[in-house]
Amino acid sequence: MPIYEEFVAFAKGWLKQYIQDNDCGPDLQRTFENLQLLLEGVIPTALGDSINGISSFDANVDALILGLTNVDNDSDSLVYGVAGFDLLIRKAMNGKRTLLPVDEGSELLTRPIFAEMVGSLANSGRKWQCNILIGMTEVETLLNSSCSSKVVSNLQNKFVSHVNKYAREQLVSEFGFQSEILEKFEHESFKASKSLQQSHWCWQRDSRQLIVTHNPSNFTLGVGANQGEQTKARNRVMSRYPDDPVAGLVDFGDRLSQANKQGIEVETIGVEDHAA
Protein backbone atom coordinates (compact mmCIF):
# COMPACT_ATOMS: atom_id res chain seq x y z
CA MET A 1 0.00 0.00 0.00
CA PRO A 2 1.39 3.44 -0.86
CA ILE A 3 2.35 5.83 1.89
CA TYR A 4 0.59 9.16 2.25
CA GLU A 5 3.16 11.20 0.34
CA GLU A 6 2.75 8.88 -2.65
CA PHE A 7 -0.99 9.37 -2.46
CA VAL A 8 -0.57 13.16 -2.47
CA ALA A 9 1.63 12.92 -5.57
CA PHE A 10 -0.92 10.64 -7.23
CA ALA A 11 -3.76 13.01 -6.33
CA LYS A 12 -1.95 15.96 -7.89
CA GLY A 13 -1.70 14.20 -11.24
CA TRP A 14 -5.22 12.79 -11.01
CA LEU A 15 -6.80 16.17 -10.28
CA LYS A 16 -4.90 17.82 -13.13
CA GLN A 17 -6.00 15.11 -15.57
CA TYR A 18 -9.60 15.33 -14.35
CA ILE A 19 -9.68 19.06 -15.09
CA GLN A 20 -8.34 18.47 -18.59
CA ASP A 21 -10.73 15.62 -19.39
CA ASN A 22 -13.88 17.25 -18.03
CA ASP A 23 -13.46 20.91 -18.99
CA CYS A 24 -13.98 22.02 -15.39
CA GLY A 25 -15.03 25.57 -14.63
CA PRO A 26 -13.01 28.02 -12.51
CA ASP A 27 -14.93 27.23 -9.28
CA LEU A 28 -14.14 23.53 -9.41
CA GLN A 29 -10.54 24.25 -10.40
CA ARG A 30 -10.13 26.45 -7.33
CA THR A 31 -11.67 23.70 -5.20
CA PHE A 32 -9.10 21.23 -6.58
CA GLU A 33 -6.26 23.68 -5.89
CA ASN A 34 -7.44 24.16 -2.31
CA LEU A 35 -7.75 20.41 -1.85
CA GLN A 36 -4.20 19.88 -3.11
CA LEU A 37 -2.90 22.49 -0.67
CA LEU A 38 -4.82 20.79 2.13
CA LEU A 39 -3.36 17.39 1.27
CA GLU A 40 0.18 18.76 1.07
CA GLY A 41 -0.25 20.75 4.27
CA VAL A 42 -1.02 17.60 6.24
CA ILE A 43 2.37 15.99 5.47
CA PRO A 44 4.48 17.88 8.08
CA THR A 45 1.82 17.60 10.82
CA ALA A 46 1.32 14.93 13.48
CA LEU A 47 -1.62 13.61 11.46
CA GLY A 48 0.67 13.28 8.45
CA ASP A 49 3.22 11.35 10.48
CA SER A 50 0.58 8.94 11.74
CA ILE A 51 -0.65 7.97 8.26
CA ASN A 52 2.58 8.36 6.29
CA GLY A 53 4.35 5.26 7.57
CA ILE A 54 4.72 2.24 5.34
CA SER A 55 1.88 -0.16 6.09
CA SER A 56 2.75 -3.28 8.07
CA PHE A 57 -0.35 -5.31 7.15
CA ASP A 58 -0.62 -7.82 4.34
CA ALA A 59 -2.89 -6.31 1.69
CA ASN A 60 -3.48 -9.72 0.09
CA VAL A 61 -6.51 -10.53 2.24
CA ASP A 62 -10.20 -11.19 1.73
CA ALA A 63 -11.31 -8.48 4.16
CA LEU A 64 -9.33 -5.30 4.86
CA ILE A 65 -10.86 -2.81 7.27
CA LEU A 66 -9.29 0.57 7.98
CA GLY A 67 -10.40 2.25 11.18
CA LEU A 68 -9.86 6.01 10.89
CA THR A 69 -9.72 7.38 14.42
CA ASN A 70 -8.58 10.51 16.26
CA VAL A 71 -10.17 12.86 13.75
CA ASP A 72 -9.84 16.30 15.31
CA ASN A 73 -11.62 18.50 12.77
CA ASP A 74 -13.50 18.62 9.48
CA SER A 75 -10.31 18.90 7.43
CA ASP A 76 -8.96 15.67 8.94
CA SER A 77 -12.24 13.96 8.01
CA LEU A 78 -11.89 15.08 4.40
CA VAL A 79 -8.27 13.90 4.16
CA TYR A 80 -9.19 10.52 5.58
CA GLY A 81 -12.19 10.27 3.26
CA VAL A 82 -10.14 11.00 0.14
CA ALA A 83 -7.45 8.55 1.27
CA GLY A 84 -10.11 5.89 1.77
CA PHE A 85 -11.48 6.54 -1.71
CA ASP A 86 -8.00 6.17 -3.19
CA LEU A 87 -7.47 2.86 -1.39
CA LEU A 88 -10.88 1.64 -2.57
CA ILE A 89 -10.02 2.25 -6.22
CA ARG A 90 -6.57 0.69 -5.90
CA LYS A 91 -7.91 -2.43 -4.17
CA ALA A 92 -10.63 -2.76 -6.81
CA MET A 93 -7.95 -3.63 -9.34
CA ASN A 94 -7.30 -6.99 -7.66
CA GLY A 95 -10.75 -8.30 -8.50
CA LYS A 96 -12.10 -8.53 -4.95
CA ARG A 97 -15.18 -6.62 -3.89
CA THR A 98 -14.47 -3.49 -1.87
CA LEU A 99 -16.61 -1.25 0.30
CA LEU A 100 -16.15 2.37 1.36
CA PRO A 101 -18.25 3.15 4.45
CA VAL A 102 -18.79 6.91 4.80
CA ASP A 103 -19.71 7.91 8.34
CA GLU A 104 -20.16 11.62 9.07
CA GLY A 105 -21.85 11.96 5.68
CA SER A 106 -23.62 15.07 6.91
CA GLU A 107 -20.22 16.78 7.04
CA LEU A 108 -18.27 15.18 4.19
CA LEU A 109 -20.93 15.59 1.51
CA THR A 110 -20.79 19.38 1.93
CA ARG A 111 -17.34 19.16 0.26
CA PRO A 112 -17.83 19.24 -3.55
CA ILE A 113 -14.78 17.13 -4.34
CA PHE A 114 -15.82 14.36 -1.96
CA ALA A 115 -19.43 14.52 -3.11
CA GLU A 116 -18.27 14.03 -6.71
CA MET A 117 -16.26 10.96 -5.67
CA VAL A 118 -19.25 9.49 -3.84
CA GLY A 119 -21.47 10.17 -6.85
CA SER A 120 -19.08 8.37 -9.19
CA LEU A 121 -19.04 5.33 -6.90
CA ALA A 122 -22.81 5.23 -6.59
CA ASN A 123 -23.22 5.55 -10.35
CA SER A 124 -20.47 3.27 -11.65
CA GLY A 125 -18.90 1.50 -8.67
CA ARG A 126 -20.56 -1.87 -9.29
CA LYS A 127 -18.68 -2.14 -12.59
CA TRP A 128 -15.44 -2.07 -10.56
CA GLN A 129 -16.86 -4.26 -7.77
CA CYS A 130 -16.88 -1.22 -5.49
CA ASN A 131 -19.72 -0.50 -3.08
CA ILE A 132 -20.43 2.45 -0.83
CA LEU A 133 -22.19 2.73 2.52
CA ILE A 134 -23.36 6.17 3.70
CA GLY A 135 -24.35 6.93 7.28
CA MET A 136 -26.06 10.24 8.07
CA THR A 137 -28.10 11.79 10.87
CA GLU A 138 -30.21 13.71 8.32
CA VAL A 139 -30.79 13.64 4.55
CA GLU A 140 -30.87 17.37 3.81
CA THR A 141 -27.13 17.49 3.11
CA LEU A 142 -27.32 14.59 0.68
CA LEU A 143 -30.30 16.05 -1.19
CA ASN A 144 -28.50 19.41 -1.54
CA SER A 145 -25.17 17.91 -2.63
CA SER A 146 -23.86 17.58 -6.18
CA CYS A 147 -24.06 13.78 -5.94
CA SER A 148 -27.73 13.69 -4.90
CA SER A 149 -29.29 12.32 -8.09
CA LYS A 150 -26.60 9.66 -8.59
CA VAL A 151 -26.76 8.43 -5.01
CA VAL A 152 -30.55 8.46 -4.57
CA SER A 153 -31.21 6.68 -7.87
CA ASN A 154 -28.64 3.95 -7.17
CA LEU A 155 -29.22 3.14 -3.51
CA GLN A 156 -30.10 -0.55 -3.14
CA ASN A 157 -30.71 -0.79 0.58
CA LYS A 158 -31.99 2.02 2.80
CA PHE A 159 -32.24 1.82 6.59
CA VAL A 160 -34.09 4.43 8.65
CA SER A 161 -34.41 4.54 12.43
CA HIS A 162 -36.26 6.96 14.72
CA VAL A 163 -37.38 10.08 12.78
CA ASN A 164 -39.36 13.26 13.26
CA LYS A 165 -42.26 14.40 11.07
CA TYR A 166 -40.10 16.61 8.83
CA ALA A 167 -37.58 13.82 8.15
CA ARG A 168 -40.42 11.37 7.46
CA GLU A 169 -41.91 13.69 4.84
CA GLN A 170 -38.52 14.02 3.12
CA LEU A 171 -37.95 10.28 3.12
CA VAL A 172 -41.40 9.68 1.66
CA SER A 173 -41.11 12.28 -1.10
CA GLU A 174 -37.46 11.78 -2.05
CA PHE A 175 -36.75 8.12 -1.27
CA GLY A 176 -40.12 6.46 -1.79
CA PHE A 177 -40.73 5.21 1.75
CA GLN A 178 -44.32 4.39 2.70
CA SER A 179 -45.64 7.10 5.00
CA GLU A 180 -47.84 4.78 7.04
CA ILE A 181 -44.82 2.62 7.95
CA LEU A 182 -42.49 5.51 8.78
CA GLU A 183 -45.15 7.09 10.99
CA LYS A 184 -44.45 4.32 13.48
CA PHE A 185 -40.84 5.50 13.73
CA GLU A 186 -41.93 8.88 15.10
CA HIS A 187 -43.09 7.20 18.32
CA GLU A 188 -40.88 7.03 21.40
CA SER A 189 -41.25 3.24 21.44
CA PHE A 190 -39.20 3.06 18.23
CA LYS A 191 -36.19 4.82 19.72
CA ALA A 192 -33.13 2.69 20.39
CA SER A 193 -33.30 1.13 23.85
CA LYS A 194 -30.14 0.78 25.94
CA SER A 195 -31.85 -1.35 28.57
CA LEU A 196 -33.21 -3.80 25.98
CA GLN A 197 -30.07 -3.47 23.84
CA GLN A 198 -31.98 -3.16 20.61
CA SER A 199 -32.93 -0.72 17.87
CA HIS A 200 -35.71 -0.71 15.27
CA TRP A 201 -35.22 0.00 11.58
CA CYS A 202 -37.30 0.39 8.46
CA TRP A 203 -35.47 -1.50 5.70
CA GLN A 204 -36.33 -0.63 2.11
CA ARG A 205 -35.04 -2.62 -0.87
CA ASP A 206 -36.67 -2.01 -4.24
CA SER A 207 -40.43 -1.81 -3.54
CA ARG A 208 -40.28 -3.89 -0.36
CA GLN A 209 -40.21 -2.40 3.13
CA LEU A 210 -39.74 -4.34 6.34
CA ILE A 211 -39.54 -3.38 10.00
CA VAL A 212 -36.51 -5.12 11.48
CA THR A 213 -34.97 -5.21 14.95
CA HIS A 214 -31.22 -5.18 15.61
CA ASN A 215 -29.81 -6.61 18.82
CA PRO A 216 -26.04 -6.07 18.87
CA SER A 217 -23.86 -8.53 20.75
CA ASN A 218 -22.09 -7.31 23.87
CA PHE A 219 -18.81 -7.30 21.94
CA THR A 220 -20.26 -5.17 19.12
CA LEU A 221 -21.74 -2.83 21.70
CA GLY A 222 -18.31 -2.41 23.33
CA VAL A 223 -16.50 -1.77 20.05
CA GLY A 224 -19.02 0.83 18.90
CA ALA A 225 -19.22 2.74 22.18
CA ASN A 226 -17.17 5.82 21.31
CA GLN A 227 -18.76 8.70 23.21
CA GLY A 228 -16.51 10.51 25.67
CA GLU A 229 -17.34 8.72 28.94
CA GLN A 230 -17.71 5.41 27.13
CA THR A 231 -14.21 5.73 25.72
CA LYS A 232 -12.80 6.51 29.16
CA ALA A 233 -14.58 3.49 30.63
CA ARG A 234 -13.30 1.22 27.86
CA ASN A 235 -9.75 2.43 28.43
CA ARG A 236 -10.04 1.71 32.15
CA VAL A 237 -11.22 -1.84 31.56
CA MET A 238 -8.77 -2.56 28.75
CA SER A 239 -5.83 -1.38 30.88
CA ARG A 240 -6.29 -4.66 32.78
CA TYR A 241 -5.53 -6.59 29.56
CA PRO A 242 -2.25 -5.14 28.21
CA ASP A 243 -1.45 -8.34 26.30
CA ASP A 244 -4.94 -9.27 25.12
CA PRO A 245 -6.96 -6.29 23.84
CA VAL A 246 -9.69 -8.56 22.45
CA ALA A 247 -10.33 -9.99 25.92
CA GLY A 248 -10.44 -6.40 27.19
CA LEU A 249 -13.12 -5.50 24.65
CA VAL A 250 -15.13 -8.59 25.54
CA ASP A 251 -14.98 -7.66 29.23
CA PHE A 252 -15.91 -4.04 28.56
CA GLY A 253 -18.80 -5.04 26.30
CA ASP A 254 -20.20 -7.34 29.00
CA ARG A 255 -19.88 -4.62 31.65
CA LEU A 256 -21.44 -1.95 29.44
CA SER A 257 -24.37 -4.20 28.57
CA GLN A 258 -24.97 -4.99 32.24
CA ALA A 259 -24.74 -1.30 33.20
CA ASN A 260 -27.26 -0.34 30.51
CA LYS A 261 -29.72 -2.98 31.63
CA GLN A 262 -29.44 -1.91 35.27
CA GLY A 263 -29.52 1.83 34.53
CA ILE A 264 -26.02 2.34 35.93
CA GLU A 265 -23.97 5.30 34.68
CA VAL A 266 -21.10 4.39 32.36
CA GLU A 267 -18.74 6.55 34.46
CA THR A 268 -18.74 3.83 37.13
CA ILE A 269 -17.47 1.06 34.83
CA GLY A 270 -13.95 -0.08 35.72
CA VAL A 271 -13.39 2.65 38.29
CA GLU A 272 -12.61 0.32 41.19
CA ASP A 273 -10.40 -1.93 39.05
CA HIS A 274 -8.56 1.09 37.71
CA ALA A 275 -8.03 2.59 41.17
CA ALA A 276 -6.73 -0.74 42.48
Q: What are the domain boundaries of the chain?
A: 4-155, 157-215, 218-275
Highest mean pLDDT among 53-67, 96-110, 261-275: 261-275
Q: Calculate mean pLDDT across residues 87-105.
A: 70
CA pair distance 81, 10, nearest whole angstrom: 15
Q: Answer whether residue 135 shows pLDDT above 90.
A: no
Separation CA 203–CA 184 (nearest Å): 13
pLDDT tens by residue, 38-54: 888 877 776 666 666 55
Q: What is d(CA 181, CA 171) in angstroms, rounded to the nearest whole number?
A: 11
State the pLDDT at residue 94. 63
Confidence of residue 71 (pLDDT cuts 50, 70, 90): low
- d(Cα 122, Cα 116) in Å, to the nearest integer? 10
Phi/psi of residue 267, nearest 5 degrees: -60, -20
Q: Return the pLDDT at 66.
A: 56
Q: Which of these, 177, 173, 213, 179, lies nearest to 193 by C-alpha position?
A: 213
d(CA 230, CA 245): 16
pLDDT band of residue 240 (cuts 50, 70, 90) is: very high
Asked whether the predicted pLDDT for residue 2 surpasses 60, the reply is no
- Under the banding of pLDDT at 50, 70 and 90, the label for residue 212 is very high
CA angle 54, 249, 88 (to 5 degrees): 35
pLDDT, the chain, mean:
82
Q: Which of 74-88, 186-200, 256-270 has the lowest mean pLDDT?
A: 74-88
Bridge partners for 160 per DSSP: 202
pLDDT at 1 (0 to 100): 47
- Whole-number Å distance between alpha carbons of 266 and 264: 6
